[in-house]
Amino acid sequence: MTRSRRALLDLIESHPRPLGPRELHRELRRRGTPMDVVSVYRNVAALLELGLLHRVLGSTAVRPCAGREPRCHHAVVCTGCGSAREFHSRPLERALSEVRRATGFSIQEHLLELRGLCAACRSRA
Ligand SMILES: [Zn+2]
Ligand SMILES: [Zn+2]
Ligand SMILES: [Zn+2]
Protein backbone atom coordinates (compact mmCIF):
# COMPACT_ATOMS: atom_id res chain seq x y z
CA MET A 1 0.00 0.00 0.00
CA THR A 2 1.46 3.36 -1.07
CA ARG A 3 1.57 6.36 1.27
CA SER A 4 -1.03 8.26 -0.72
CA ARG A 5 -3.45 5.30 -0.67
CA ARG A 6 -2.93 5.02 3.08
CA ALA A 7 -3.71 8.74 3.54
CA LEU A 8 -6.84 8.37 1.40
CA LEU A 9 -8.03 5.29 3.28
CA ASP A 10 -7.39 6.98 6.65
CA LEU A 11 -9.50 9.92 5.56
CA ILE A 12 -12.37 7.72 4.36
CA GLU A 13 -12.28 5.61 7.53
CA SER A 14 -12.26 8.62 9.84
CA HIS A 15 -15.03 10.47 8.02
CA PRO A 16 -18.57 10.02 9.40
CA ARG A 17 -20.19 9.71 5.96
CA PRO A 18 -19.24 8.42 2.49
CA LEU A 19 -17.44 10.94 0.27
CA GLY A 20 -17.14 11.25 -3.50
CA PRO A 21 -13.82 11.84 -5.33
CA ARG A 22 -14.28 15.65 -5.51
CA GLU A 23 -15.01 15.87 -1.79
CA LEU A 24 -12.05 13.58 -1.03
CA HIS A 25 -9.82 15.82 -3.12
CA ARG A 26 -10.99 18.91 -1.19
CA GLU A 27 -10.74 17.22 2.21
CA LEU A 28 -7.19 15.93 1.55
CA ARG A 29 -6.06 19.45 0.71
CA ARG A 30 -7.73 20.78 3.84
CA ARG A 31 -5.82 18.19 5.91
CA GLY A 32 -2.49 19.16 4.36
CA THR A 33 -2.03 15.97 2.31
CA PRO A 34 -3.03 17.24 -1.16
CA MET A 35 -3.50 14.81 -4.04
CA ASP A 36 -4.46 15.72 -7.59
CA VAL A 37 -7.95 14.70 -8.73
CA VAL A 38 -6.69 12.11 -11.23
CA SER A 39 -4.72 10.39 -8.45
CA VAL A 40 -7.75 10.47 -6.16
CA TYR A 41 -9.82 8.69 -8.83
CA ARG A 42 -7.03 6.18 -9.51
CA ASN A 43 -6.42 5.43 -5.83
CA VAL A 44 -10.13 5.07 -5.09
CA ALA A 45 -10.38 2.59 -7.98
CA ALA A 46 -7.41 0.63 -6.60
CA LEU A 47 -8.87 0.54 -3.07
CA LEU A 48 -12.24 -0.60 -4.45
CA GLU A 49 -10.43 -3.33 -6.38
CA LEU A 50 -8.67 -4.43 -3.16
CA GLY A 51 -12.05 -4.66 -1.40
CA LEU A 52 -11.07 -2.03 1.17
CA LEU A 53 -13.82 0.30 -0.01
CA HIS A 54 -17.36 -0.09 -1.29
CA ARG A 55 -19.24 2.31 -3.50
CA VAL A 56 -22.56 3.60 -2.22
CA LEU A 57 -25.02 2.27 -4.81
CA GLY A 58 -26.06 4.80 -7.42
CA SER A 59 -23.45 7.30 -6.23
CA THR A 60 -19.75 8.11 -6.64
CA ALA A 61 -19.29 8.19 -2.85
CA VAL A 62 -17.28 5.45 -1.20
CA ARG A 63 -17.38 3.99 2.30
CA PRO A 64 -14.79 1.86 4.09
CA CYS A 65 -15.23 -1.89 4.30
CA ALA A 66 -15.92 -2.87 7.89
CA GLY A 67 -15.16 -6.58 7.54
CA ARG A 68 -12.31 -8.59 6.11
CA GLU A 69 -14.21 -11.81 5.55
CA PRO A 70 -14.46 -12.98 1.95
CA ARG A 71 -18.23 -12.71 1.82
CA CYS A 72 -20.65 -10.15 0.51
CA HIS A 73 -20.93 -6.95 2.47
CA HIS A 74 -24.37 -5.41 2.53
CA ALA A 75 -24.96 -2.03 4.06
CA VAL A 76 -27.58 0.07 5.76
CA VAL A 77 -27.09 3.71 4.79
CA CYS A 78 -28.64 6.62 6.69
CA THR A 79 -30.46 9.10 4.46
CA GLY A 80 -30.13 11.71 7.21
CA CYS A 81 -26.41 11.84 8.05
CA GLY A 82 -25.03 9.48 5.39
CA SER A 83 -23.44 7.11 7.90
CA ALA A 84 -23.24 3.47 6.80
CA ARG A 85 -22.98 0.13 8.56
CA GLU A 86 -22.33 -3.28 7.09
CA PHE A 87 -24.38 -6.30 7.88
CA HIS A 88 -24.44 -9.93 6.91
CA SER A 89 -27.44 -12.20 7.14
CA ARG A 90 -27.47 -15.96 6.67
CA PRO A 91 -31.26 -16.15 6.16
CA LEU A 92 -30.96 -13.48 3.47
CA GLU A 93 -28.20 -15.41 1.68
CA ARG A 94 -30.33 -18.55 1.83
CA ALA A 95 -33.26 -16.64 0.31
CA LEU A 96 -30.98 -15.44 -2.51
CA SER A 97 -29.91 -19.02 -3.22
CA GLU A 98 -33.57 -19.75 -3.63
CA VAL A 99 -33.79 -17.01 -6.29
CA ARG A 100 -30.79 -18.55 -8.08
CA ARG A 101 -32.49 -21.93 -8.16
CA ALA A 102 -35.79 -20.43 -9.28
CA THR A 103 -34.27 -18.40 -12.13
CA GLY A 104 -31.68 -20.94 -13.23
CA PHE A 105 -29.13 -18.13 -13.44
CA SER A 106 -25.52 -18.55 -12.51
CA ILE A 107 -25.16 -15.51 -10.24
CA GLN A 108 -21.72 -13.93 -9.89
CA GLU A 109 -22.58 -11.25 -7.38
CA HIS A 110 -25.36 -9.30 -5.78
CA LEU A 111 -25.47 -5.79 -4.40
CA LEU A 112 -27.80 -4.81 -1.63
CA GLU A 113 -28.12 -1.62 0.31
CA LEU A 114 -30.90 -0.58 2.66
CA ARG A 115 -31.69 3.08 3.17
CA GLY A 116 -33.25 4.56 6.27
CA LEU A 117 -32.62 6.66 9.35
CA CYS A 118 -29.98 5.65 11.89
CA ALA A 119 -30.79 5.66 15.62
CA ALA A 120 -29.05 9.02 16.17
CA CYS A 121 -30.99 10.73 13.36
CA ARG A 122 -34.24 9.14 14.51
CA SER A 123 -33.77 10.46 18.04
CA ARG A 124 -33.08 13.94 16.61
CA ALA A 125 -36.28 13.89 14.55
ZN1 LIG B 1 -17.30 -4.63 3.31
ZN1 LIG C 1 -25.17 -11.18 0.24
ZN1 LIG D 1 -28.09 9.16 10.55
8 burial level (CB within 10 Å; 0-12, 13-18, 19+): buried
How high does pLDDT run on average in the chain? 92
Which residues of the chain are in CATH 3.30.1490.190 domains?
Answer: 74-124
Cα of 122 vs centre of ligand 1, distance in Å, is 25
**CA of residue 112 to ligand 2 center, whole Å:** 7
At 44 the pLDDT is: 97
**Location of each CATH 1.10.10.10 domain in the chain:** 3-64
- Closest ligand to the CA of 88: 2
d(CA 16, CA 8) in angstroms, rounded, equals: 14
Residue 70 pLDDT exceeds 70: no
CATH number for 74-124 (one of 3.40.50.2300, 3.30.1490.190, 3.40.50.300, 3.40.50.1860): it is 3.30.1490.190
Reported pTM: 0.81
- CATH dotted code for 3-64: 1.10.10.10
Ligand with an atom nearest the CA of residue 82: 3
**Contacts of 29-32 spanning 24+ positions with Cβ under 8 A:** none
